[in-house]
Chains A and B, each alone.
Chain A
Amino acid sequence: MSLTKVTSDVLEARYTDAAVISSTSGTISVDWSAAAVYQMNASLTGATTLNFTGFVTGQVITIYALQGAQTLTLTSDASSSTTLHKVGGDYDGSSDPNVLQVECLDDNSVNAVFVYSVATSATDPTP
């Protein structure tokens, strides 16, 4: 029988898997080929840079439980520049956890482009 639908099982880990980030400061490599969802294991304890690698155009990743009143920088392994387009507000990890969603608009290895939105989040059973 031929395959008539693309199931989650046949997709790469970059579209289906979840991972945990345990580092809480410094430069943290986030490999977009490894997972689509990243959970921060603990609050940030110092200035942190999320360095994106392995991204492809159109891919979206979500990083949640992102917390800690620290300076947070996004960058990538693009050789020349990493351009970020902000949608909405700024990261504020001083009280509630944040959800950060990033989409790669251009995976050019020289000048990568991303769009991101970040906001505080809370469990809400009655949206």
Chain B
Amino acid sequence: MKAKDYNGTIKTFPAVPKSYGNIIGGFDLLSDIELQGYGFYDVVYPEYNDLTQYFSGLQFNESTNQFVYDVVNIEWDETLAELKEKQITVAKNAASDSLRHTDWVIIRDTELGNTTSQAILDSRAAVRTACDAHEVAINALADKAAVMSYLITY
């Protein structure tokens, strides 16, 4: 992606246009250096955490000759406690989804008096243990960004 500054308004170009100014075709065939002569520079996306940050406006970096997106930290309206509750709910819902795959086995075995596979019992126990561990870990976090970037896996 390229971008160009039009008197303070930065316009991005997902693809280099085929024509520009008095060039009626093949503008997209010019080299990066030649494009810079027309004010077209690369756009750079810095590394960021999409759970806690987002891209804002473009700024031109004169030392690298690139347009670089500003990375801004998300400001949450909720309190730390509310965000923790939100993440714990996510963890519990994910555990529920994981257990749901074998719920029918438990129901069948309970109804029929069958012995449930130990592997299934172990995997369900592991999910419950992990869910409890996630809840403890989330509650131990001290700031909003850490809570919202907490990775929940089963």
A-contact bits for B13-52, CB 8 A (1 contact / 0 none): 0000111011111110110000000000000000000000
A90:B22 contact, CB within 8 angstroms: no
Q: Which of A13-21, A28-36, A66-74, A103-111 contacts B (4 or more CB under 8 A)?
A: A66-74
Does residue A97 face the partner (Cβ distance < 8 Å to B)?
A: no
* Most chain A Cβ neighbours within 10 Å, of B17, B21, B24: B24
Structural contact, A90 and B19, CB atoms closer than 8 A? yes
CB distance B29 to A73 under 8 Å?
A: no
Report the interface size for chain B: residues with CB under 8 A from the other chain. 12
Q: How far is the CB of A96 from chain B (nearest CB, A)?
A: 13
Asked if A118 contacts B24 (CB within 8 A), the reply is yes
- For chains A and B in complex, what number of residue pairs have CB atoms within 8 angstroms? 48
A selection of 22 A-B contacts at a CB cut-off of 8 Å is: A69-B26, A70-B26, A71-B23, A71-B27, A71-B29, A72-B23, A72-B25, A72-B26, A73-B24, A74-B22, A84-B21, A90-B17, A90-B18, A90-B24, A90-B25, A91-B19, A91-B24, A91-B25, A91-B26, A98-B25, A100-B24, A118-B25
Choose among B17, B21, B24 the residue that contacts A72 (Cβ–Cβ < 8 A).
Answer: B24
A residues engaging B (CB < 8 A)?
47, 69-75, 82, 84, 86, 90-93, 98, 100, 116, 118
Instruction: Label chain B's interface by main secondary structure.
Output: loop
- Are the CB atoms of A84 and B24 closer together than 8 Å? yes
Q: Which residues of A contact B30 (CB under 8 A)?
A: 47, 71
Q: Which residue from chain A places its CB closest to the CB of B17 in the assembled complex?
A: A90
Chain B residues near A90 (CB-CB < 8 A)? 17-19, 24-25
Write out the residue numbers on chain A whose beta carbons fall within 8 Å of the beta carbon of B29: 47, 69-71
A91 to B25, CA, bound (A): 4
**Which 6 A-B residue pairs are closest in the complex by CB-CB distance?**
A91-B25, A71-B26, A90-B18, A90-B19, A91-B24, A72-B25
Instruction: Determine how close the nearest CB of chain B comes to the CB of A33; give it in whole angstroms.
Output: 21
A81 nearest CB neighbor, chain B only: B22
- Once the chains are docked, how many angstroms separate the CA of A76 from the CA of B21? 13
Is the pair A86, B19 in contact by a Cβ cutoff of 8 Å?
yes
Cα–Cα distance between A98 and B24 once the two chains are bound (Å): 12
Set B22, B25, B27: member contacting A93, Cβ < 8 A: B25
CB of B24 within 8 A of CB of A74, answer yes
Q: Is the CB of B18 within 8 A of A73?
A: no
Q: Give the residues in chain B near A74, CB-CB below 8 Å.
A: 22, 24
CA distance A118 to B18 in the complex (A): 13
